[in-house]
Amino acid sequence: METFILQTLNGLDKGSAYALIALGLTLIFGTLGVVNFAHGALFMIGAFCAVTLSRILTLSYIVVDESKTDFLGNPLKVDVPYVFDIFGQSTGEAIIDWAVPLAIIFSIPIMIAIGWIMERGLIKHFYKRPHADQILVTFGLAIVLQEIIKYYYGANPIPTPAPEAFSGSFDFGALIGFDANTIIYPYWRIVYFIFAAVIIGAVFAFLQFTTFGMVVRAGMADRETVGMLGINIDRRFTIMFGLAAAVAGLAGVMYTPIVSPNYHMGMDFLVLSFVVVVVGGMGSLPGAVLAGFLLGILESFASMREVLELVPGINQIIIYLVAIVILLTRPRGLMGRKGVMED
């Protein structure tokens, strides 16, 4: 039972990452009809927003400490961050400690700007081009973006820890009436789950309850008619693109304490996020979220020792196996709309 609950928690946690990425992707892919292979790169850039902010916060000047030596026997150079001078040491340390949450604020304008530039500068010209061309251009863009990141940050993962206050784990089992020390769960993962839920809720509310959202939804359903009504749908699509980029970026920012970011993390998630979106069904935002959580939970259960003893190797293929089964039993995925990306 404890294991069951633990794996459900894990599944929800993984699922919230999948759902967030798939949500952004489906805004672009399922609704604007653009096959965006650069979406993983947006997720990665979000993560590197957090890295960059923590680099900025730790911008330092060098003080030579004569009492210690470095590996070559020269006097040790100690880095002193400028924030220490501005805010004093303790506040400075606290600010550096909270770099990841602070990066949320830092990343939103950056991601929206990147999304906006991408759409205006590139994607806009590809709405009417074949999907093949969209794949090539966005894949090229993804490579360029990740190579730029690699050039500045190297290829190794970069540790980006959560604030001290969230670094531990708490006894979830004791909370719901199990023995102590049976269901332990890290604080940050719970934060991530709640964060994802809030973002997903916000996106849905935005599309559901605002006039803007209504127009966009109408535009997804029938772009031409909306255009004929004299509404500038293009502009709104640009904003949607910025929004999708911001969602992907935020997913990346908050993910950094869970998996140390590296330049190819976007590519690692790319294929998976396409699978999630398609399993959810093209053009369906709820479908993408649902599929994200479903695949996250199934993946967690497939990695249990008991399951692996029964079916060796199932953890390697579970996501793809489920995708095949779902696509064969439900022709348009879980909640797909007819006629979207079917030809």
Partner 1 sequence: MFGLDRKDTRLLILVAILTMAAPFLLNPFPEGSAMAQFNAGYPDLMQRFVIFGIFAIGFNILFGLTGYLSFGHAAFLGVGSYAAIWMMKLLTMNVIPAIFMGVIFGGLFAVIVGYISLRRSGIYFSILTLAFAQMSFALAYSVLTPITGGETGLQPKTNDPRILDGTLADGATPKANIFGLEMSSSFELPLGSWLFTFNTGYYLAAFVMLASFYVAIRIFRSPFGMMLRAVKSNQQRMTYTGLNPRPYTLAAFVISGMYAGLAGGLMVAMDTQVGPERMFWTASGEVVLMTILGGVGTLIGPVLGAGAIKYMENIISKINSDILHTWFAFLPDGLEDLVVTLIYPFIGKGWHLTLGIIFMLVVIFLPGGLVEGGQRIAKLFSRKKADDNTSDVAKAPAE
Partner 2 sequence: MTKSTFTRRGALKTSAIAGAGVAMPTIFTGSSAAAFTNEPAGSSVTLGFNVPQTGPYADEGADELRAYELAVEHLNGGGDGGMMNTFSSKALQGNGILGKKVEYVTGDTQTKSDAARASAKSMIEKDGAVMITGGSSSGVAVAVQALCQEAGVIFMAGLTHSNDTTGKDKKANGFRHFFNSYMSGAALAPILGANYGTDRKAYHLTADYNWGYTTEEAVRTSTEAMGWETVAAVKTPLTQTDFSSYVAPVLQSGADVLVLNHYGGNMVNSLTSAVQFGLREKEANGKNFEIVVPLYSRLMARGAGANVKGIFGSTNWHWSLPDEGTQAFVRSFGTKYGFPPSQAAHTCYVQALLYADAVERAGSFNPCAVGEALEGFEFDGMGNGKTLYRAEDHQCFKDVLVVKGKENPTSEFDLLEIVEITPVSQVTYDASIFGGELGACNPGA
Nearest distance, CB of residue 309 and partner 1, angstroms: 13
Partners of residue 60 on adjacent β-strands: 81
Q: Which residues bind partner 2 (CB under 8 A)?
A: 2-3, 6-7, 9-11, 13-14, 17, 68, 70-72, 76, 150, 154-159, 161, 167-169, 181-182, 184-186, 188-189, 257-260, 262, 264-265, 268, 299-301, 303-305, 308, 312-313, 315-316
Of residues 168 and 227, the one with the C-beta less far from partner 2: 168
Token duo for residue 147: 């190579």
* Distance from C-alpha of 158 to C-alpha of 148, rounded to nearest angstrom: 16
Site residue total, partner 1 (CB under 8 A): 44
Nearest distance, CB of residue 132 and partner 1, angstroms: 5
* Distance from C-alpha of 41 to C-alpha of 267, rounded to nearest angstrom: 7
Question: Which of partner 2, partner 1, none interacts with 142 (beta carbon under 5 to 8 A by kind)?
Answer: partner 1
Nearest distance, CB of residue 238 and partner 1, angstroms: 19
* Distance from C-alpha of 33 to C-alpha of 82, rounded to nearest angstrom: 46
Question: Which of partner 2, partner 1, none interacts with 143 (beta carbon under 5 to 8 A by kind)?
Answer: partner 1
Residues 6+ apart with CB under 8 A from 115: 42, 241, 242, 243, 244, 245, 246
Element of type H or E holding 291: helix 285-302
- The reply on whether position 268 binds partner 1 by CB under 8 A is no
- Of residues 274, 290, 293, 334, which one binds partner 1 by CB under 8 A? 274
Nearest to 114 by CA among 54, 31, 28, 218: 28
* Distance from C-alpha of 303 to C-alpha of 318, rounded to nearest angstrom: 9
Binding string, 275-314, against partner 1, x = CB under 8 A?
x--xx--x-----------------------------xx-
Nearest to 52 by CA among 197, 160, 201: 160
Choices 45-53, 254-262, 295-303, 323-331 (CB under 8 A): range interacting with partner 1: 323-331
Partners of residue 260 on adjacent β-strands: none
